[in-house]
Structure 1
Amino acid sequence: MAGGRFLLVTILNVVITVFELLGGLLSGSLSLLSDAFHNLGDALSVILSYVAHRIGARRQTRKNTFGYRRVEILTALLNAGVLILISAGLAFEAVRRLLHPEPVKGDIMLVVAVVSFVANLLSTILLNRGSKHNLNIRATYLHLLSDALASIGVIIGAVLITFWHISWVDPLITILVAVYIVFESWPIVKQTFGILMEGAPQLDYDAIAQDICALPKIKGVHHLHAWQIDENNLVFSVHVNMDDLPLSQVEPVYRQIEALLCHKYNVNHVTIQAECHRGKDEALFFKQNDWRHD
């Protein structure tokens, strides 16, 4: 992801934030003020995303042998979590406005919303390409996309307020946008939390075991572990039972297993432990008390 695009998106979001804050105060529009705070969060999100992306690109070290890619996962979780908290606060204020309506100047609201939509749309386009294969950038992209959609809602609300004086539509739009943001952010929270907890990726482990056992010289598979460094890097370890063979004959089997896992299951870091009789009757997945018998 080019640093120039991150910088441009950050500048756009800062400008939009100031513009919407002024517009929201002048018009009395809650949806504009909520969008302004949302854009401020976006600007911070873009900065965090860029810093995390640079850190995540560093090479492995003796201290961090898997590298620094988890920094991007932490940032994605932070961004999505902040979005949910902001949305909850905005929804609470919107409910209060529904119960106690306040006057809104629709003409000012409309002009500010149109300008904000154009700027948000441009920011979204700038980050779209990098959002498909990176959770960190995807979380930031969702920040910007939700703002663009919020601006559409604000535009519709401004039209209704300007021409039909329906003031309650302003907090209603705020609630709808807040619900949408939570709906889009929650999957990122779940996925990043799962990665940080070293949850197993969604693979067909029974099929993997069958494929490995189908290879020549493999007698059994046990103590399988799989986890993710980030959404694109899968780590896999497994114990395999083989005949009592010299190491020179075991290594080609290792290469076959690695090729199978890489090409069929997109696993890119494999650790294999060959055993003759040890563990042959144990389960595919490691049980907490198995180590006592090893």
Structure 2
Amino acid sequence: MSHNHVHITKNNVKANNLVYSILLNLLITISQVVGGIISGSLALISDALHNFSDVLSLVFSLVAHKLSRRKASIEHTFGYKRAEILAAFVNASTLIIVALILIYGAINRFIHPEPIKSTLVIWLAVLGIFANGFSVILLKNDADHNLNMKSAYLHLLTDMMASVAVLVGGLLMKFYGWFWVDSVMTILIAIYLIVVGFDLVIKSTKMLMLFTPEHIDIKEIVREVHKIEGAGKLHHIHVWYLNEEEIHLEAHLDCPEDFTLTQFDEVLNNIEKVLFEKFGINHTTIQPEFKKEDPKEFIVQD
């Protein structure tokens, strides 16, 4: 079995930005818990709960980021490269769980409304907007090319939006006495959390389940490989994300001739070049065969 590996340029994710965001969210969480208890605002306590989930998710993202940089070993031949995908899945799942808890509490408060000290709610919401906004700016660039960082970024972005909603609700309560707005804002925050969390859960689940990347057409891969001189029938194909930086392909190649290893290496190099340049596949493992009796379908259940 021949195996080729294209050099991968790793994205330089800044772990220090996660540390700063963790500290900021700890400050917000403590402030909002105290303020929510004093003011009686469920939306503020809900926002604090979301902030605390942010702290946990950011810590998890930081740990996963550190683990993903560890070198492979005999015991862990892939290292911990999938740690960040796992972190993204867990973080996205917590977004949905927190949202369901918020909806339950909001409905209960809507049925049994209580007066709220809106001035404190307003000032703490402003604190949340600025602190989370700064954290969002810190993680924005990394979120564009790293699923783990995107999950942390979405936690912070939704929390900033939650603080905006709390601020609007606080102003309406202060000037109009609409205390029911607290529950409505909480439900709106929760619905948004479910929407963004679900999308990320789907993406990370597909990676964890080793599904074929959405942008890759296996039939097109076969057509391109079959154009290469000396390449026979490509079959028994698997394509998957190891992590966001590595797309792996393994397959069998039914060679038309009884090649020498040198001849096969030339064919393999051409295959690798096509796979990388046209499909972004940077890790290729191909098992050469000659007149071997085995299934020749593109996809074969192992």
Please say whether Structure 1 and Structure 2 have the same fold, judged by a TM-score greater than 0.5. yes
Residues 222 and 279 in structure 1, CA contact (< 8 A), matched pair in contact too: no
**Structure 1 length normalisation: TM-score?**
0.94
Q: 2:210 corresponds to which letter in structure 1?
A: E
What residue is the counterpart of 1:291 in the other structure? Answer: none
1:85-140 deviations in whole A, cap 9, x for unaligned?
11101101101111221111221111111111111101111111111111111111
Q: How many residues align?
A: 288
What residue is the counterpart of 1:247 in the other structure? Answer: 261
| 2:78 aligned counterpart, secondary structure | coil
Residue 241 (structure 2) pairs with residue 235 (structure 1)? no
Runs of at least 4 residues of structure 1 off by over 6 A?
none
1:164-193 deviations in whole A, cap 9, x for unaligned?
111111111111111101100112211222
Q: How many Å separate the matches in 1 of 2:249 and 2:164?
A: 45
Q: How many Å separate the matches in 2 of 1:23 and 1:9?
A: 21
1:216-237 deviations in whole A, cap 9, x for unaligned?
0123111111121123311101
What residue is the counterpart of 2:175 in the other structure? Answer: 163
What residue is the counterpart of 2:211 in the other structure? Answer: 199
Larger RCO (CA within 8 A; separation ≥ 6) = 2
- 1:1-294 equivalences under 5 Å are 1-202=13-214, 203-242=216-255, 243-278=257-292, 282-288=296-302
The percent of aligned pairs where both chains have the same amino acid is: 36
1:43-63 deviations in whole A, cap 9, x for unaligned?
121111111101101122122
Uncovered stretches (5+) of structure 2, i.e. residues with no partner: 1-12
Q: How many Å separate the matches in 1 of 2:226 and 2:265?
A: 16
Give the CA deviation at 1:2: 3.1
Q: How many Å separate the matches in 1 of 2:227 and 2:294?
A: 16
Q: How many Å separate the matches in 1 of 2:251 and 2:56?
A: 42
**Structure 2 length normalisation: TM-score?**
0.92
The CA RMSD over aligned residues, in Å, is: 1.4
Uncovered stretches (5+) of structure 1, i.e. residues with no partner: 289-294
Q: 2:278 corresponds to which letter in structure 1?
A: K
Give the CA deviation at 1:67: 2.0
